[in-house]
Structure 1
Amino acid sequence: MGAFKEAGSGKGAVWHRALSVGVRLLALALICVLLARHLDPALHAGFNPGLVWRNAFPLFLIALLLYGFFGRIVLTAVVSAALIALVYKINAIKVRNLHSPLTPDDAALSHQVAGDIGFFAHYTGYHVVALVLAPVLLIVAAVVLWRRETRLFKPHRVTRVVCALLAVLGLYALMQGYRPWREWYASNAMTGYQQWNPIFSAQSKGFTAMFVRMCQDRQVSVPPPDKSVVATFVSHHAQDIAQREERQPPQVLPDIVIVQSEAFFDPGVLKSVDYGQFDPNFERLAATGITGSLTTPTYGGGTIRTEFETLTGYPMMAFPAVQYPYFGLAHRWMPTIPRRLQALGYTTALFHPYESDFWNRDETMPALGFQRMYFEDAFKDASRAGLFVSDHSLFDAVLAYLDDLHSSPSYTMVITMENHGPWNRDPGQLANLLKTNPLPAGLSEEGTEQMTYYASHLINGDAALADFATKLLARKRWTIFLFYGDHLPALDAAYQDLGFDDNRAAYQEHTRYMMLSNRPFDSHQRRQLNLSAYDLPGLLFDVAGLPEDGYLALASTIRWASMHDAIANADGYRDVQFNAARLEVTCGHKLNLAENCPP
């Protein structure tokens, strides 16, 4: 339309400028609506105006902020579209690999992504050079547009400041959940939204609407506990709880070794695959101990969610607004398993052959009670299987450590890395392990690639497990060994090719666990138990005969009560446990069940 002089006088010029700005903002709003409709699968089925505007409005506020900053409509439209498309692409990658959308807690991981770009590049399908080059090209394009668009109409500085200020205030009020935004994104306005199930909410209500709602929910990250639910259960089971609290520890305390095996599960849950086909040693060992399926609070990744449950006994679903417990939820005061065992005279140690600051473990693990920690630096000379330290080398290091301990009982947690994803890489020589145990028929090229890598490392790790368990349980000291998988691997193509025996989705499937001991189990101890990861601490203390108190005694009583009550009151028991966990976290110290939450 040619150059326009803002210095024009009269009401006509003012109205012309206002109309021009209004048209451009309307164009930005339309672009955001079209982007949301195009990029979000949740908005593809039919046209729901309520969902569309709830997903498009936050995008418009971002575009409005950029318009106030740039003062150029074309540049704003291009940069806004690029940034929005990038966020949706990253969200799609996370959903594909972890079955979880982007959440506000992901911001805490931004420095880890930047520092480990090569590691995360494997999950994107792009070379690391492409990931670095893309933002550079966007910046170059933005500079060109900035220079070329200077002759087109630009709003007055006051208008730009107003646009930017409105955008900032709008985004802040929206994410904080101020009225009326909280009502517009409330559950009754987004019928079917599930706070505890972000992936379902994103797939049904839209990614952006889900993200806004999670930001609003974070302002009260721990739901208020219902003390009456806990008090009622405590009053009905006071004797059982008292017995656990008064239990005297054995004269000789057992060594306790926990192995959290990366992405371990038995592919026998897949059609055309037999149980133990790729992990025969696990199946053989499990038959001699306590075993069953294990429900974990994550899929494809998010290891620390399962890790946190097994260290504290707190169910992650009790804190639906918390995605990554090592960023904000884990605290030094928590009566974790390592801290409880320290009080009994245990030495606590952690082995994890990867970077100490990954998942914030270098700060969190000491706070949760680990006295000694061995991260990647301690495994510089260790052999690797693929990209990571092999389970064989890791287990040898643990055995050497235990041999050096002579008197005090030890609690040792081992977090493996060998079979860490992504699983679309060449397993190298390990693929030879499949010659005597071929993959099932019916796999696509992508499914074969995933299963080849995963199964090769699973077989290799299973052999390492057999050697480790044999040597560990041959020790003279009483030793209890707990082994479990933290989550299913994201072998999406293989799962789609084969399907599961129970026809459920991959994220609904369970991993496995086993608890072994070189002393006989109590004759009353059930040997087949299907548990959740947060049940493992209580089972461990039962098998070892150690005293429990506070939340742990309550959680173990809930586990026993629910087992004897079958499925009749499963939801009720879960409600008690969730509220008990919230109550202890809200208190900020160990529960005193006699007083619920003393000052």
Structure 2
Amino acid sequence: MTATPLSTPLRRNLPHVLWLLLVVVIFAISASWLDPALGWPMYAVDGAHLGLVAINILPFVLIVLLLGALTRRVVLSSWIGLLLLIASHAANTAKLQQLEMPLLPGDFHFLEEIGSALPLFVHYIGTSLQPVLIALGVLALTVALFREAAWPLMRGWKRLAVAAVSITLGVGIIQGWTPWRAVYSAERLRFEPWSVVDSARKAGMVGNLVLYNWELAKRQELHPDRNAARELLRANVDGLREHLSPNSSSLAMPSGTQPDIVIIQSESLFDPARLNGAPKNTYLPNFHRLAKRGLSGELKVPTYAGGTIRTEFEVLTGLALAFFPGVQYPYFEIADRPIPGIVRTLSRQGYQTTAIHPNSGVFWNRNQAYQQIGFDRFVDERAFSKDDIVGLFTGDAALTDHVLAQLDQDGPPQLIFAVTMENHGPFDWRPGLDAERLAAMQMPAGLDEGGEYWMRNYLYLLGDADHELGRLADALQKRKRRTLLLFYGDHLPALPPVYQQIGFADGKAAKTQPVPWLLLDNRRKLAEHGPMDTTAWLLPSILLETAGIGGDRYFATLAALRDSLPTDVMASSSGLPGELRALGQLRFRNELEPILDTVLDGPVAEADVAIAP
């Protein structure tokens, strides 16, 4: 019995089919090995897991097909697609290890500013030559593959068809066309936008990226619940009238005494005394000294171990990130319009406003975001010298010098907002630190040698941050002009070995731990009001109330709500009630004032009800 020969069209296309099958198998094995959600080894998974693997490698397969059509070099195209797959999963793994957060759509914005982002990210590689040698080997192999001969089968209409189909399918995935919503089913993949870590464990890295991208696009346009916001205001109308009246604050100074205001956001600052086995009365001596004459307490922040701009956004705007479902990186995702906040409020009061940060203005899109927030001026890394570097980044001492140099005894009042850099991770290596001082650091009990190494580096830099707080506060105390200093941490440091080995004294997870905050006034003691635990988005209302600065009814409203709503509600950085979210969304859209007018003036007017969403 003779075998039936393959038909001519099938025989001609067999190489294409075999190539595609080989790419799929290699990518499936690689993704399953790199992504815990996909299961390993392959033979141990069932059909549902194979389907999950398929949707997680599909975008990379489409990239290979497109590159194959464009270059006609199938080995080169497959190699580049595999590199992209491995690089994406490597970035995802590194982010999970450092920040306990998977790769998200906003992370790809760093590709737009790779020149400014690369100097920071390479610090996480350390001094090992192995990554450099691997990168050079990969580059050499990639260059060599460019010499691959063009595949004669990939030409003419086939080439155009493969390119067109690949682009169409890829755009459909990005845009969320209807057929793809069935393939990447949020229900089947158990996608939860409020818990991206859990979603990535269920849907895989790519599945989570696709679904989160659709969720973010769906929620970009806010539709505030005006009725909910109105009812919240009505329920607290007496407090609103009190706080909106002149000289309402018990902390307020007489009118005409506009103080200078300095805000310091201290990188990765937290109190190590919260750790199990930590020695008492040891860390942050200047902070605790100053807290005796200032307002202070624990601060809940909307990020963990990274994502500095999340806390920064809340403090500068008084808007909780929880007001914007799906938004992870506000300076990228909602900084395309003027943003109301404390900067614009003070500008209307005649303040000169300056932001200072010793990093590139391109990084985190701060150049554009600070303009939208309303700063008059932004002083970035170009104002600092290489001699200012401590370890890996510009030291806090140099930043303190710049802050003090900006303050002028004469002229209009100033707002200076400064973001430190010295204490930025990584903490698993730090060149140039004083060995004797490192060895003298008092360690929490229970850490192994590796954990102690991370902790010593962190405590060294934390000591610098605390020292500069003391130096700045003492200098401001001597000023003739009234000056307020707001100081707080942006998030916990990324110290995974420390948290895993000893944990926290309160028994809670690292992600739930607060950071310290402090508010000082060089003209009076504030500490008699007692500790005040709060959250980042409420800090500007506390600052303005303490400064005795009015003129912004949103911040006055927040002050009234702090007095009337339970502390655990107002001091939450997530899970806010719907009426508070509506209030913040209306503020962001500059649509809160008409509703405030109608609530404060009496019955709701028809004009208010008719405002378009």
Q: Which residue of 2 aligns with 1:182?
A: 181
Match of 2:341 among 336, 339, 343: 336
AA partner of residue 8 (structure 2): A
Q: Name which of structure 1's ranges 445-454 and 125-134 shifts more when overlaid on structure 2.
A: 125-134
* TM-score normalised per structure 1: 0.88
1:418-450 alpha-carbon deviations (Å, 9 max, x no partner): 212211223534343345443234333432222
Distance 1:590 1:463, change over 3 A: same
Q: Which residue of 1 aligns with 2:446?
A: 442
Between the aligned partners of 1:597 and 1:483, the Cα distance in structure 2 is: 43
Distance 1:416 1:587, change over 3 A: same
Superposed displacement of residue 210, structure 1: 0.8
Q: Is the 8 A contact 2:427 2:454 kept in 1?
A: yes
Distance 1:39 1:435, change over 3 A: closer
Q: Which residue of 2 aligns with 1:212?
A: 210
Within a 5 Å distance, the mapping from 1:11-90 to structure 2 comes to 12-44=7-39, 47=46, 48-49=48-49, 50-71=51-72, 73-90=74-91
Q: Name which of structure 1's ranges 444-453 and 423-432 shifts more when overlaid on structure 2.
A: 423-432
SS at match of 2:415: strand
Q: Which residue of 1 aligns with 2:537?
A: 534
AA partner of residue 280 (structure 1): P
AA partner of residue 97 (structure 1): Q
SS at match of 2:487: strand
Identify unmatched segments of 5+ residues in structure 2: 598-607
Q: Which residue of 2 aligns with 1:471?
A: 475
Match of 2:266 among 252, 258, 261: 261
Structure 1 runs, 4 residues or longer, greater than 6 Å off: 565-572, 588-591
Q: Which residue of 2 aligns with 1:7?
A: none
Match of 2:357 among 345, 352, 361: 352
Distance 1:579 1:521, change over 3 A: farther
Matched, 1:369 2:377: no
Matched, 1:512 2:513: no
Distance 1:429 1:19, change over 3 A: closer
Q: Which residue of 1 aligns with 2:488?
A: 484
Match of 1:578 among 545, 560, 581: 581
AA partner of residue 540 (structure 2): P
Superposed displacement of residue 219, structure 1: 2.2
Distance 1:32 1:318, change over 3 A: farther
Superposed displacement of residue 73, structure 1: 5.0
1:127-175 alpha-carbon deviations (Å, 9 max, x no partner): 584476255224224225x23x85xx83453223222221211111111
Superposed displacement of residue 345, structure 1: 1.9
Q: Is the 8 A contact 2:331 2:369 kept in 1?
A: yes
SS at match of 1:154: coil
Match of 1:200 among 188, 195, 198: 198
% identical aligned pairs: 34
Superposed displacement of residue 533, structure 1: 1.0
Match of 2:316 among 311, 317, 323: 311
Q: Which residue of 1 aligns with 2:602?
A: none
Distance 1:352 1:122, change over 3 A: same
SS at match of 1:482: strand
Between the aligned partners of 1:189 and 1:224, the Cα distance in structure 2 is: 27
Superposed displacement of residue 107, structure 1: 2.4
Q: Is the 8 A contact 1:247 1:548 kept in 2?
A: no
Superposed displacement of residue 40, structure 1: 0.7
SS at match of 1:180: helix
Superposed displacement of residue 306, structure 1: 0.9
Within a 5 Å distance, the mapping from 1:55-454 to structure 2 comes to 55-71=56-72, 73-125=74-126, 129-130=132-133, 133=136, 135-144=138-147, 146-147=148-149, 150=151, 154-191=153-190, 193-220=191-218, 221-248=220-247, 250-251=254-255, 252-331=257-336, 333-380=338-385, 383-402=388-407, 404-426=408-430, 428-454=432-458
Between the aligned partners of 2:183 and 2:233, the Cα distance in structure 1 is: 39
Distance 1:292 1:74, change over 3 A: same
Q: Is the 8 A contact 1:291 1:515 kept in 2?
A: yes
Distance 1:426 1:584, change over 3 A: closer
AA partner of residue 89 (structure 1): A
Distance 1:164 1:19, change over 3 A: same
Distance 1:592 1:71, change over 3 A: same
Superposed displacement of residue 490, structure 1: 0.9
Q: Is the 8 A contact 1:222 1:319 kept in 2?
A: no
Root mean square deviation of aligned Cα: 3.2
Superposed displacement of residue 337, structure 1: 0.6
Distance 1:461 1:549, change over 3 A: closer
Superposed displacement of residue 382, structure 1: 6.2
Distance 1:51 1:295, change over 3 A: farther
Between the aligned partners of 1:185 and 1:505, the Cα distance in structure 2 is: 32
Between the aligned partners of 1:498 and 1:450, the Cα distance in structure 2 is: 13
Superposed displacement of residue 12, structure 1: 1.8
AA partner of residue 34 (structure 2): L
Between the aligned partners of 2:83 and 2:293, the Cα distance in structure 1 is: 57
Between the aligned partners of 1:208 and 1:511, the Cα distance in structure 2 is: 33
Distance 1:271 1:564, change over 3 A: closer
